[in-house]
Amino acid sequence: MAQNRIYNFNPGPAALPLEVLAQIRQDFLSYADSGMSITEISHRSRWFDEIINDAVARTKRLLGLGDDYHVLFIQGGASLQFCMLPMNLLGAGDRADYVNTGTWSTKAIAEARILGRHIDVVASSEDRGFAYIPEQIAFNSGAVFAHITSNNTIKGTQFAEFPDTDGVPLAADMSSDIMSRPFDVQKFGIIYAGAQKNIGPAGVCMVIIRADFLERVPEALPSMLKYTTYAAKNSLYNTPPCFAIYSVQLVLKWLEETIGGLERMAAINAEKAQILYGCIERSGFYRATAEPGSRSRMNVTFRLPDEDLEARFVKEALAAGFGGLKGHRSVGGCRASIYNATGVDAVKALTAFMEEFERTYG
Ligand SMILES: *Cc1c(COP(=O)(O)O)cnc(C)c1O
């Protein structure tokens, strides 16, 4: 099965663990004792009940979530959360803080403003092209939440530690680094993550919300846009994206049982990042775009001496079996996304290719 697979450095949808794909292949014709494909079973069946309950239970165990947190599965991607979050949590007279660290934060801010909510951008790294994570941020003590993007997929930066908000609950877009490391969930009122970067295929967004935040949800919102609808019905108010949720469950199982949890995952991710940034630092040819101290362990962004060489690099890399290395169209350059499912072996093979490319063209 694996023979014709490339090393996949796609930013999202992204690589999935091979053993998860093998399980999906098996379940695609007949799931468990159902005699039906995983795509053919009812979302009201006992099989799907077990799948979604297991996905929630594993999420809670992996992140150490108490009973005061709800795990929801919602369609519309992380992009829907940009508006759903302020819609649900900010009433008239409320205010919230936002930290702007790149393209996705900028969009989250814009969507909250479309709704006419009172939000303050309390810090931004736009002055240096979003190449760093702001520190020593002064949050407003009266804010309902403080919104951050934990990992900036396009700019290649990441919060190494979460800011001290002086008690204001954090709200985080963790689309591109959820489940990549352990962290203190108590600081967070709400976390959301599109599955297609680190925990599954496209089609579902995981939302983790604290019970007291659910109390803020206004009655006068359409059912499908209310967090309370999903919380009351275990994300089964209407037909959910069954296949995506099932796949997320398999990835979480892999994280727990094959990897051995988030401490272990974080150590592997640190090793991968160290190998790749080390290769870039040693060379006079590649140049990391994110500032030291702010560099992402998930998306490694770098430039070559000129754009022609960058185009050649991406092309020759693909021919050699390394896919997805083109930078986001808005910033150019190169980017290697090294999410959970991309192994140390893939990163070592990539750095060997990079060194060879430098010897040829450097
Ligand atoms: C990819 C990404 C998004 C957008 O996700 P969609 O599911 O396509 O809406 C938002 N935020 C971050 C940090 C991302 O990486």
Q: 191: CA distance to ligand 1 center in Å? A: 13
Q: Please say which residue of 234, 259, 284 terminates a domain.
A: 259
Whether the predicted pLDDT of 1 surpasses 70: no
At residue 223, the pLDDT reads 98
Residues 283 and 175 in one domain: no
Contact 87, 212 (CB under 8 A): no
Q: 78: CA distance to ligand 1 center in Å? A: 5
Q: Is residue 14 part of a domain?
A: no
Closest-CA residue, ligand 1 atom 8, reads 77
Q: Is residue 13 part of a domain?
A: no
Residues 135 and 199 in one domain: yes
At 36-69, the pLDDT tens digits run 999 999 999 999 999 999 999 999 999 999 999 9
Ligand 1: atom nearest CA of 12 is 1
Give the residue, 92 or 254, on which the prediction is more confident.
254
Contact 313, 304 (CB under 8 A): yes
Closest-CA residue, ligand 1 atom 14, reads 175
Ligand 1: atom nearest CA of 202 is 7
At 107-135, the pLDDT tens digits run 999 999 998 989 999 999 999 999 999 99
Which of 206, 179, 185, 176 shows the shortest CA–CA distance to 69? 185
Contact 180, 269 (CB under 8 A): yes
User: Please, which residues have CB within 8 angstroms of residue 282's CB and are 6 or more apart in sequence?
Assistant: none
User: Please, which residues have CB within 8 angstroms of residue 119's CB and are 6 or more apart in sequence?
Assistant: 86, 90, 95, 96, 97, 98, 109, 112, 113
Residues 148 and 80 in one domain: yes
Residues 183 and 313 in one domain: no
Q: So which residues are the catalytic ones?
A: 104, 173, 197
Query: Whole-angstrom Cα distance, residue 177 to residue 194?
Result: 10
Q: Pocket residues for ligand 1 (CB within 6 Å)?
A: 12, 77-79, 104, 149, 153, 173, 175-176, 194, 197
Q: Which domain holds residue 162?
A: 22-259
Q: Please say which residue of 231, 259, 287 terminates a domain.
A: 259
Q: 247: CA distance to ligand 1 center in Å? A: 18
Residues 153 and 83 in one domain: yes
| Band of pLDDT at residue 3, cut at 50, 70 and 90 | low
For the residues 23-44, what does the mean pLDDT come to? 97
| Band of pLDDT at residue 4, cut at 50, 70 and 90 | confident
Residues 253 and 275 in one domain: no
Q: What is the pTM of this model?
A: 0.97
Q: 227: CA distance to ligand 1 center in Å? A: 19
Residues 124 and 62 in one domain: yes
Query: Whole-angstrom Cα distance, residue 141 to residue 95?
Result: 10
Phi, psi of 132 (to 5 degrees): -150, 170
Q: Is residue 126 part of a domain?
A: yes
Query: DSSP strand E in the chain: where?
Result: 7-8, 69-74, 95-100, 118-124, 146-149, 151-152, 157-158, 170-173, 188-194, 205-210, 287-288, 299-303, 322-323, 334-337
Query: Whole-angstrom Cα distance, residue 1 to residue 22?
Result: 8
Residues 174 and 320 in one domain: no
Q: What percent of the chain has pLDDT over 70?
A: 99
At residue 2, the pLDDT reads 59
Query: Whole-angstrom Cα distance, residue 41 to residue 338?
Result: 33
- Domains in the chain, number: 2
